[in-house]
């Protein structure tokens, strides 16, 4: 049955204004809105094939069969698609990433964006962008931002229907580069889902959330005006604010490694020397170094000289999640 | 004139609940109260000699003559003593530290505590502990905590008169050790006085201050009950909360170095392994590792094995600032 198979590609995204903590954990309604850029050079490619021969959902990621909680999470997500589509069959799901997973490169965002599109299409649904974004969000919050194109804003929303991401500028709006300084590809000790659920135990979470609208406005404006200095200033502040919440949660989450801090301090120093660049870190130790495309080579050279850097990945803005043959 | 000379010793202190930010910068009225332990093994010894032969105050610290802002700060402090005492003469001031200055070991606290006692005595004043604490505070906020003995609480107070430190337990109340892992004795780039004045530019300062009374109560109780786990938990949280404010100020202050973070992470890991210990950091990169005296040797061995540690200092609780012959 050819209409029971679909393949989709989605890109991870890097947030300038961060998502941390939920208003509703089961619906993944975020405590605050967020803004990100899709990373076009990195991708997850996922094929979903429903088949009456399957006795359960079977999931492989980069050739390894998933099991335990990772499998349950995908199966629960597929149950939602089956329920929407009236589909009874289980599925064979194959996913390939071209980047390391579980180390702060938002692998779950690209994974659930690609799965939402491939899974819903294979099940015969024709969801629009808003519906896809909403569906992807239920798998992994930040996955909703990997559905639209380019620079995206996740509108926190007051309900399941409203909490979706929209594109605020296409990929060719601004030639920014994200250089990812990989300091550790070890799987992180604390996944971010559990961390989100503990965000409110930090004394700083409430005020971080309350002041997010100001930072969202500043970030959105900086992107629309292509004002690098404004984007640098608000992004570094927002990243450090999020890690300030994480480190004061109970139990505390220290995603920064000594190597991360070394790179962050270098970035601040290089910016004082006149090189446009800034750092931002998600729930992991890798440092995302954003810069205009023109200085990418210079910064890669400097970053590559740091013994703390294991590997460098880089990417410009990426397009929307899309189907492929 | 024998009554115009006096020598005093004062110890630096390490705060478990931190002082950061002022309600009144000129009076150094702190935004919140704080709790600390004097460090008996470290000391500043200061001699003040008023003499009609002096044309201005002359200050030497560890044998080097002070000049510029450091000299002006001491001269302003001496003006205050002269005004209180009706003293017209300038003074020769010699100060010796047995620990490195300017790298987060609160050298200014011990310095202004010793200077308050030696200076006021040499000027013929007989100030009581509260008056001395208040005077020391005007030189350097945390210096007021180096006046009383043992474990001290700085009561924020609503006025110059009320903002003083009091002892909440004597040195022999609890055999705690502070092992200072020195990661850099370089003079820090940003002194803390300027940093205090910018504290309110952090979105986190107001809530840090508003919730300080809960942490003060928890810390005071932990000390009075000699409850190490409670002291560990509240102290690490308060330290990280202060650095969370510093790093989100404008401009951001990153006192943590990669080496600091490495040591902090080791301390958290060693505690999970069952060794009672916790970290706290002042406005500098050195990590203060607190532990019961019994595990000092074990921890010094472990810390000494880290390549990031340049030097180890250690101290138990210290007594009050006092006069010496």
Q: What structural domains does chain B harbor?
A: 4-172 (3.30.230.10), 176-315 (3.30.70.890)
**Cβ separation of B248 and A241 shorter than 8 Å?**
yes
Task: Identify the residue among A186, A248, A285, A308 best suited for mutation to test binding to B, counting B beta carbons within 10 A and taking the highest.
Answer: A248
Q: Quick one: pLDDT band at residue B325, thresholds 50, 70, 90?
A: confident
pLDDT of res. A1: 46
Triad A218, A246, B256: Cα angle to 5°: 90
Q: Are A298 and A129 in contact (CB under 8 A)?
A: no
pLDDT of res. B106: 62
**Cβ separation of B204 and A268 shorter than 8 Å?**
no
CA distance A303 to B129: 54
pLDDT tens readout for residues A14-23: 999 999 999 9
**Cβ separation of B236 and A252 shorter than 8 Å?**
yes
pLDDT of res. B194: 85
Residues of A near B (CB-CB distance < 8 A)?
A: 203-204, 206-208, 211, 236-237, 240-241, 244, 247-248, 252, 254, 256-259, 261-262, 264-265, 268, 308
pLDDT tens readout for residues B11-52: 999 999 999 999 999 899 999 999 999 999 999 999 999 999
B260 to chain A: closest CA residue: A258
**Cβ separation of B211 and A204 shorter than 8 Å?**
no
pLDDT tens readout for residues A85-142: 999 999 999 999 998 665 556 689 999 999 999 999 999 999 999 999 999 999 999 9
Tell me the chain B residues in contact with residue A278 when contact means C-beta distances shorter than 8 Å.
none
Q: Quick one: pLDDT band at residue A5, thresholds 50, 70, 90?
A: very high
pLDDT of res. B189: 61
Tell me the chain A residues in contact with residue B240 when contact means C-beta distances shorter than 8 Å.
247-248, 252
Q: Are B255 and B104 in contact (CB under 8 A)?
A: yes
CA distance B127 to B131: 6
pLDDT tens readout for residues B188-239: 566 677 899 999 999 999 999 999 999 999 999 999 999 999 999 999 999 9
Distance from CA of A231 to the nearest CA of B (A): 15
pLDDT of res. A217: 98
Q: Quick one: pLDDT band at residue B1, thresholds 50, 70, 90?
A: very low
For all residues of chain B together, what is the average pLDDT?
94
10 Å Cβ neighbour count for A155? 16
Among A114-123, A298-307, B96-105, B255-264, name the one with the lowest average pLDDT: B96-105
> Global pTM?
0.94
B248 to chain A: closest CA residue: A237
pLDDT of res. B101: 64
pLDDT of res. B124: 96
| A-B Cβ pairs (cutoff 8 Å, strict) | 65
Q: Which helix (H) or strand (E) covers residue A213, if one does? A: helix A212-224
């Amino acid at each position: 049955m050819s209409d029971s198979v679909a393949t989709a590609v989605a890109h991870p995204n890097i947030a300038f204004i961060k998502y941390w903590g939920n208003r509703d954990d089961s619906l993944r309604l975020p405590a605050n809105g967020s803004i990100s850029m899709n990373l076009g050079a990195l991708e997850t490619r996922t094929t979903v094939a429903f088949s009456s021969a399957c006795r359960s959902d079977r999931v492989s990621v980069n050739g390894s069969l998933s099991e335990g909680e990772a499998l349950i999470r995908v199966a629960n997500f597929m149950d939602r698609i089956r329920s929407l589509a009236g589909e009874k069959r289980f599925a064979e799901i194959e996913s390939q990433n071209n980047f390391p997973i579980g180390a702060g490169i938002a692998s779950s965002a690209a994974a659930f964006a690609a799965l939402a599109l491939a899974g819903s299409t294979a099940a015969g649904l024709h969801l629009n962008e808003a519906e896809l974004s909403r569906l992807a969000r239920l798998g992994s919050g930040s996955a909703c931002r990997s559905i639209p194109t380019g620079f995206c804003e996740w509108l926190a929303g007051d309900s399941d229907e409203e909490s979706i991401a929209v594109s605020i500028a296409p990929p060719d709006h601004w030639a920014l580069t994200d250089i990812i300084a990989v300091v550790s590809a070890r799987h992180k000790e604390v996944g971010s889902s559990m961390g989100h659920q503990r965000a409110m135990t930090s004394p700083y979470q409430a005020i971080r959330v309350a002041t997010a609208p100001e930072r969202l406005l500043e970030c959105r404006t900086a992107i629309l005006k292509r004002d690098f200095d404004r984007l640098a200033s608000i992004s570094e502040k927002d990243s450090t604010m999020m890690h300030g919440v994480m480190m004061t949660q109970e139990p505390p989450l220290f995603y920064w490694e000594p190597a991360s801090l070394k790179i962050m301090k270098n970035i601040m120093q290089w910016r004082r020397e006149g090189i446009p660049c800034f750092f931002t870190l998600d729930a992991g130790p890798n440092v995302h170094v954003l810069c205009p495309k023109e200085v990418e080579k210079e910064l890669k050279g400097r970053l590559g000289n740091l013994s703390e850097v294991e590997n460098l990945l880089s990417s410009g803005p990426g397009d929307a999640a899309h189907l492929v043959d």
